[in-house]
Structure 1
Amino acid sequence: MIGCFYILDFSYDVEEGKPVIYIWAIDKEGNRVAVLEKNFRPYFYAILDDSADTNKVAEDIKRLSVSQSPITSVKLEERKYYGNPVKVLRIETVIPAYVRTYRDKVAKVRGVKEVVEADIRFYMRYSIDNDLKPFNWFKAEVEEIQDSKLRVKKVYELKKIIQIYEDKPPELRIMAFDIEVYNKYGSPNPRRDPVIIIGVWTNNGGKQFVMKDDDLEIIREFAKFVLDYDPDIILGYNSNGFDWPYLLERVNSRGIKLDIGRKVNSEPSQGTYGHYSVVGRLNVDLLGFASSIAEVKVKSLDNIADYLGVVKKTERVNLEWYQIPEYWSDPSKRDILLKYNMDDVRSTYLLKDVFLPFGEQLTMITGLPLDQLSMASVGYRVEWLLMREAYKFNEIIPNRVEREYESYKGGLVISPAPGIHEGVYVLDFSSMYPSIMIKYNIGPDTLVKGECEDCWVAPEVGHKFRKSPDGFYKRILQKLVEERKAVKSKIPTEKDEYERRRLDERQRALKVMANAFYGYMGWLGARWYSKEGAEAVTAWGREIISSVAKLVEERGFKVIYGDTDSVFIKGSGNVDSLVNEIMNKFGLEIKIDKIYKKIFFTENKKRYAGITEDGKIDIVGFEAVRGDWCDLAKDLQRRVIEKILTSGVDEAVKLVRDVIMKIRRKEVPIQDLVIWKSLDKSLEEYEVDAPHVNAAKKAMKAGYVIFKGGKIGYVIVKGSGKISERAEPYFMVNDINRIDIDYYIDKQIVPSAMRILEQFGIKESTLKNTSFDILNFFKK
């Protein structure tokens, strides 16, 4: 029979001594199904020395065969390695795990130069070879079979793939969950501390499982709910870091499995990039996506949901982790804790509308399943795309190797003209680095280290890249750029709102992937690493920005700042004409990205703030200067910037003086004075007693939960001794009179404001002297 299937995920098992690949999918009728591939076998390659006797090497490799997983095939093939033709032996076996065993043995065979492609996960190898990607449809010839071990409507054995295509996706079942733990005795211990609440949220709303006598009962109820609802996607927030490992150890310590997969007797297991895999379902930890939001420093669920406008902090219950035991133990407060859990799980569920559409498009481009993609770095996402394209281009996939750090010169930064400027245009090169890589055919396979008669030569560094044929990077980047143009052209005329959103997410994902290629090329962990390529890209980038700046000045404009792929200019000439001239001269797309009504720069690079024509305020660089500032100091800096741009410097000074007066009158909440720091190591590993380390030790001594990788919030209190000795966990300080007011004024408020105001000649004494006549100051 012929069937059409929408792919969710892949997995594999070894059954009766042979590997079986499971394609977890949905058919056209909306049934959850499994399509089984039983004929694909693991393989890898041996690159041969130029002088090797192919037949002898092949026979030597065959003699390595063992009965548990025999070598079933050794075939000679012609492939390309970094663009150069090579002879390889394709070595096939039966059991995927034996590839690593054979890899080490084959590497020692005389005549073998290198063993490659032995570290690619088996089911991903299958998906690459057959160009199958999650969130795509494929049509295939299949035979329906029975398999009582699988929790799906139908099971098929795959006979032949007929067609791969895109179509409107089916309605997916999505579930979010969140657990609360009773951890009265310090760091939560799953062998001791029970799970007291498990909240879930689906399109039907919320549901909670609340412990009565034994938490094993609610964990079983939760598992039954998962099996009954049968979600395609399970959402969590830091679920890979806490919820899943806690639940698993909690039940396993009592000899029970958390059986929630689409295969009977399967429980979540930790896989690549630290994610937990649930067989047949996509377990997506949204913290992986949230980690890319640089504007939010403390990436807690409530902060992310608030920042994205999903659930405002003012619209939900907000509790601190240390309050959970108190609210659980007190019957009068328990309902508040239950509401807190529901607000958390509802926030997680609603975040799907922000993160999943973009994540789905990245999955469709890279082929990396969504649960892995959410936790994978940008470098790994690019690499999976490259690996898929390498197979199409008959290119061998290089091994990943350890490399020592190598620095190289980055993009050009033109020093800013300090002060306030009006009528400033930002000219931005669209995807400058990918464009340079395409124009100059840059990549590890096009690099020429000797003499070359027909090469592009990078300025300053002198690296040479052949002009033809097109290299590996260029071909893929061109595909991404061309597809993005085609997708963008469809958006204005698309009338269906869903399709318009999908197209916009698609073009954004294509742009992000293309822009990541330069960074990937210079990433030490990259399979296709090229320091020379990365150096050449930035060298050409510097030359272009320098030339553009010179042209701008020649046309009567003034360059007040430049950074990597953009220049900030002001003047009374025709900017549109200037943009066209730049594009024609350099062959790169450039546009007017922003027009600032007013903008100011400090003497420091990458630090400025401006207000656009439509009233939007951009702040770049300031908010990330210090990691040990309290919220009040950070917020004040932002407000000072806004005042300068909207009302002037004198109003900004008044604002700072007002805040200082409020602190002196103790009219600020302690919460605004909390300083947050990460605990990157275990407390015993710290050699220096920094403030946050001392605060964490005091919290632990008092019985609170502190663990590596978490954050500690502290305040500085009055007393003698060093500041680090006077750091107290904020939740242990309830009286504002204990706070060291002078510390916050001298070390937090004034420095945060002075980083801005010193550019305008303001002195610290001006801010601290609240009786000072600010208007007279500006008259002098």
Structure 2
Amino acid sequence: MPHGFLLSRHSFDQGDSTCIHYWLTTPQGPAKLVIEGERPVFMVKVADRAQVTEALAGVPHQWQQLGFQTFGREEAAMLYFPTIDAHRRGQTLLQNRDIEVLEGDFRLHDRYLMERFARGGLYFEGRAQARDGYTEYRQVRLRGAEVQPDFKVVSLDIECSGQGELYSIGLYGHGVEEVLMVGKPQSADTAIIWVDDERALLKALEARFRRLDPDIIIGWSVVDFDFRLLLKRAERHGLHLKLGRGGADARWRDGREGSQGFVTLPGRVVLDGIDGLKSATYNFESFSLEFVAQALLSRGKDTEDVDNRLSVIEHDFHHNKPKLAAYNLEDCRLVWDIFQHTRLLDYLRLRAQLTGLELDRSGGSVAAFTNLYLPKLHRSRYVAPNLPADGGLASPGGYVMDSRPGLYDNVLVLDFKSLYPSIIRTFKIDPMGLIEGLVEGLADDDAIPGFRGARFSRDRHFLPDIIANLWAQRDIAKREQDAARSQAIKIIMNSFYGVLGSGGCRFYDTRLASSITLRGHEIMQQTARWIEELGHQVIYGDTDSTFVWLSGRPSPEEADAIGVALASEINRRWRHKLKEELELDCLLELEFETHYRRFLMPTIRGSEAGSKKRYAGLVVKGDEEKLVFKGLETVRSDWTALAKQFQTQLYAMVFRGQDPSDYIRETVAKTRAGELDEQLVYRKRLRRKLEQYVKSVPPHVRAARLADDIRRQQGLAPRYQNKGWIRYVITLNGPEPVDHRQSPMDYQHYIDRQLKPVADAILPFVELDFDSLVDGQLGLFGVVIPAPPLRAHPQKGNASAD
């Protein structure tokens, strides 16, 4: 049977019926599946039949009762419509009369796949007919399949003027490495296809797409910038850009206010690198191509002036087109190499295969959950509820223990492996299981207690089995060292709690989310009690991690052995407890993760209380040392390079038992002397347009406004009016942009706001004081009072053993 991987999907009315088009890439080439006559459907309560019949008097529909019921145990009927338009009109008419419509928001082409458990890969058969560049199939039957597609990919990037006039289009990938450029032919090292004007450039792009016939187009902001501009310029010339397969037009749809728009190329997929990396949980200080490329590839754009690249592009277009072509192509190549380096396309393919999401779908956790859950729910004759009218009540968050601040030797971290998915599996937490568990008259022993009044069926559920299947697949991926597949499954599994606790999900119920998080609280608290019963001190706990201090002076080997033994004993106790009390098989698994040779749990600034989600530690493996920071300045983007470097060196010295006094004095002295100016730059994002900062004007906004005022005075276009990033410093006259600094630096600001907070978090635990060290306090007769020696201070929580 032929097989392929889904690229694009859409449905529309065709006369008095419907038509669905699915485009696939197959080993034999592109395929278009045409499915006609599929009927859109939604559900209503049987009790509303009279009102429904009256309201839909003028809309063709068919009523069917197939034994379905709502989550409120009311009988439900299916309403089928001949067209998408009739389905839409019927829904509007009923909602205008306050008649509840259930599952009315699914697109026809999505529901067709979902109900057949078809996700990403497909087996199909039908009547085949050869077309120009593809094969069309009608009278189609299809089902899900495991498919390993060989995508044909092209990276695209455009260059243009500040007013949006197109200069060139770079193409790089399978079968292509060239630039389409407006201008007269010139000698160049880059392969350039020269065209006369912008209109000819757009037509040349159409021709290249026909010849290259890519499945996937990748780029950087490629949807909201490149394709948006391409379609806008085509419209200016009265053109319909035929970039889809079969000569289909590229189509643009604006997103909701302030959100990204959408581009549709029938038979192809456009993937934005930024959205893809974010969905794969990558996080960077900046998602500019230059920053990400430097971070991942250790190289960047082919330009000597990244910050002023627009003016360079405009200059090169008029004076050095071969140089612009090389720059254009290198941007394409950078995106290609980032996709290769991160295996991003593999991740997106696996996500589509596992969940049914489109390859280009950003976010989509709720849709992924629904695709997996709803067809199973329907086979139990339940109709899914609608979104909560109140937007959903807040559910408790993860457990966070009050910490015991101090500087410690030998801290172990014990982690529960995928705690929330494990809780769902163990305690059978499930939307339908909740409804079945609350059936009146059900004996207590036949249900599993949850929280906030929840009870769950022991045998009527789907989510625990869905997670078990994903879990097994992830274990296989780990054994095969398939990082992309493992990451895709991990993200999907971990999203389920968030989905159930989100008012944007139709299955939201505060009892579901609370039965996960509050069970997590209970598990973490009981685990801590057991560990302390075994003679150890728990100094912190956070969501699924428990931090244990080992007193005495165990060797590294002894500490590791204690960690393994603790995890084993706690797992044994949980198995026994759940079997004895609830007759449940325990799927919780505590693992020994890390041994910190030295560990700091700081206090909240200005308080004696311990902080939360902020700590640092030193891990030693053989001859290698690794500093780990969580929530502290070195991992935060809103602190300067000075603070990050200072913290790293200071903590390393304290963790090694070295006196940092001279280092602190030297750093302060160099700061005051102007020797560290390059490390004093703040870099911050403007998240709104400058004009929208009215009530509060933070320092980076003041710096951006000053920069644009100076640029206007110099006859240059303002740079920061529409969001972006600003680099600035603090001077004696306040914040000023780095490129236009006019005043002397305010070094005291950096000492007080960057160095002192870092030092104050750790120095009290070794009986040192930043102000005393920096001020060089003089005793009587001008004698410098030396800093006290490094030693333990148990009264302040310091648990280093002497």
Give CA-to-partner distance per residue, 1:264-292, whole Å, 9 cap, x none.
24114237774433221111112113336
Q: Taking structure 1 as reference, are residues 552 and 706 closer, same or farther at Cα in structure 2, changes over 3 Å only?
A: same
Match for residue 58 of structure 2? 64
Match for residue 642 of structure 2? 632
Kept in 1, the 8 Å contact 2:22–2:33? The answer is: yes
Match for residue 495 of structure 1? none
Kept in 1, the 8 Å contact 2:68–2:77? The answer is: no
Match for residue 145 of structure 2? 165
1:558 paired residue among 537, 545, 550: 537
2:449 paired residue among 428, 451, 457: 457
1:152 paired residue among 121, 133, 149: 133
Counterpart of 2:315 in structure 1: which amino acid?
A: S
* CA positional deviation for 1:36: 0.9
Counterpart of 2:570 in structure 1: which amino acid?
A: I
* CA positional deviation for 1:669: 5.6
* CA positional deviation for 1:262: 1.4
Distance 1:361 1:689 in 2: 44
Distance 1:771 1:263 in 2: 81
Give CA-to-partner distance per residue, 1:23-60, whole Å, 9 cap, x none.
1112332x1121111131212111222xx6x5x56754
1:426 alignment partner, SS class = strand
* CA positional deviation for 1:673: 0.9
Match for residue 738 of structure 2? 730
Counterpart of 1:6 in structure 2: which amino acid?
A: F
2:136 alignment partner, SS class = strand
TM-score (norm: length of structure 1): 0.84
Counterpart of 1:5 in structure 2: which amino acid?
A: G
| Residue 302 in structure 1 maps to residue 287 in structure 2 | no
Distance 2:240 2:681 in 1: 45
| Residue 545 in structure 1 maps to residue 534 in structure 2 | no
Match for residue 106 of structure 2? 120
1:228 alignment partner, SS class = helix
Runs of 4+ that moved beyond 6 A: 331-336, 449-452, 770-775
Match for residue 210 of structure 1? 181
Kept in 2, the 8 Å contact 1:327–1:336? The answer is: no
Distance 1:709 1:491 in 2: 41
| Residue 139 in structure 1 maps to residue 124 in structure 2 | yes
* CA positional deviation for 1:771: 10
* CA positional deviation for 1:328: 3.2
* CA positional deviation for 1:176: 1.5
Kept in 2, the 8 Å contact 1:443–1:530? The answer is: no
Match for residue 497 of structure 1? none
Match for residue 331 of structure 2? 344
Q: How much identity, in percent, do the aligned residues show?
A: 23
Match for residue 468 of structure 1? 458
2:119 alignment partner, SS class = coil
Distance 1:318 1:766 in 2: 46
Q: Taking structure 1 as reference, are residues 97 and 643 closer, same or farther at Cα in structure 2, changes over 3 Å only?
A: farther
Which 10-residue stretch deviates more, 151-160 or 653-662? 653-662
| Residue 260 in structure 1 maps to residue 243 in structure 2 | yes
Match for residue 610 of structure 1? 617
Kept in 1, the 8 Å contact 2:428–2:464? The answer is: no
Distance 1:689 1:438 in 2: 49
Match for residue 189 of structure 1? none
Q: CA RMSD in A?
A: 3.4
Counterpart of 1:366 in structure 2: which amino acid?
A: T
Match for residue 796 of structure 2? none
* CA positional deviation for 1:236: 1.7
Match for residue 217 of structure 2? 234
1:528 paired residue among 495, 507, 529: 507
1:779 alignment partner, SS class = coil
Superposed counterparts of 1:6-155, under 5 Å: 6-29=5-28, 31-49=29-47, 59-60=53-54, 63-65=57-59, 70-71=60-61, 73-82=62-71, 85-107=73-95, 114-134=100-120, 136-140=121-125, 142-145=126-129, 152-155=133-136
Unaligned runs of 5+ in 2: 184-195, 555-560, 575-585, 604-610, 712-716, 791-802
Give CA-to-partner distance per residue, 1:691-721, whole Å, 9 cap, x none.
22223333444222335453333333343xx
Aligned residues: 724
Distance 1:533 1:630 in 2: 42
* CA positional deviation for 1:367: 0.2
* CA positional deviation for 1:690: 2.4
| Residue 673 in structure 1 maps to residue 681 in structure 2 | yes
Distance 1:768 1:216 in 2: 67
| Residue 663 in structure 1 maps to residue 650 in structure 2 | no
Give CA-to-partner distance per residue, 1:286-329, whole Å, 9 cap, x none.
2113336465222222322333x3x2147964643534214532
| Residue 697 in structure 1 maps to residue 705 in structure 2 | yes
Distance 1:655 1:179 in 2: 50
* CA positional deviation for 1:138: 0.7
* CA positional deviation for 1:605: 0.9
Superposed counterparts of 1:473-484, under 5 Å: 475-484=462-471
Distance 2:349 2:692 in 1: 42
Counterpart of 1:94 in structure 2: which amino acid?
A: P
Unaligned runs of 5+ in 1: 184-191, 493-499
2:360 alignment partner, SS class = helix
* CA positional deviation for 1:11: 1.9
Q: Taking structure 1 as reference, are residues 239 and 644 closer, same or farther at Cα in structure 2, changes over 3 Å only?
A: farther
Counterpart of 1:605 in structure 2: which amino acid?
A: K
Match for residue 311 of structure 2? 325
Q: Taking structure 1 as reference, are residues 45 and 738 closer, same or farther at Cα in structure 2, changes over 3 Å only?
A: same
* CA positional deviation for 1:689: 2.7
* CA positional deviation for 1:17: 4.6
1:716 alignment partner, SS class = strand
TM-score (norm: length of structure 2): 0.82
Q: Taking structure 1 as reference, are residues 248 and 469 closer, same or farther at Cα in structure 2, changes over 3 Å only?
A: same
Match for residue 593 of structure 2? 593
2:43 alignment partner, SS class = strand
1:406 alignment partner, SS class = coil
* CA positional deviation for 1:368: 0.8
Distance 1:404 1:302 in 2: 39
Distance 1:276 1:514 in 2: 29
Give CA-to-partner distance per residue, 1:638-696, whole Å, 9 cap, x none.
44444444x44634x55454444443333346585133133235524533332222233
Match for residue 164 of structure 2? 193
Q: Taking structure 1 as reference, are residues 486 and 312 closer, same or farther at Cα in structure 2, changes over 3 Å only?
A: closer
Kept in 1, the 8 Å contact 2:528–2:538? The answer is: yes
Q: Taking structure 1 as reference, are residues 216 and 41 closer, same or farther at Cα in structure 2, changes over 3 Å only?
A: same
Counterpart of 1:598 in structure 2: which amino acid?
A: R
* CA positional deviation for 1:527: 1.0
Distance 2:11 2:114 in 1: 15
Distance 1:48 1:670 in 2: 72
Q: Taking structure 1 as reference, are residues 584 and 11 closer, same or farther at Cα in structure 2, changes over 3 Å only?
A: same
Q: Taking structure 1 as reference, are residues 180 and 672 closer, same or farther at Cα in structure 2, changes over 3 Å only?
A: farther
Distance 2:654 2:227 in 1: 48
Kept in 2, the 8 Å contact 1:623–1:638? The answer is: no
Counterpart of 2:612 in structure 1: which amino acid?
A: K
* CA positional deviation for 1:173: 0.7
Distance 1:323 1:760 in 2: 49
Match for residue 567 of structure 2? 579
Kept in 2, the 8 Å contact 1:48–1:113? The answer is: no
Counterpart of 1:74 in structure 2: which amino acid?
A: W
2:398 alignment partner, SS class = coil
Kept in 2, the 8 Å contact 1:236–1:348? The answer is: yes
Kept in 2, the 8 Å contact 1:319–1:340? The answer is: no
Superposed counterparts of 1:679-690, under 5 Å: 679-681=687-689, 683-684=691-692, 686-690=694-698
Distance 1:257 1:774 in 2: 80
Kept in 1, the 8 Å contact 2:366–2:505? The answer is: yes
Distance 1:209 1:717 in 2: 47
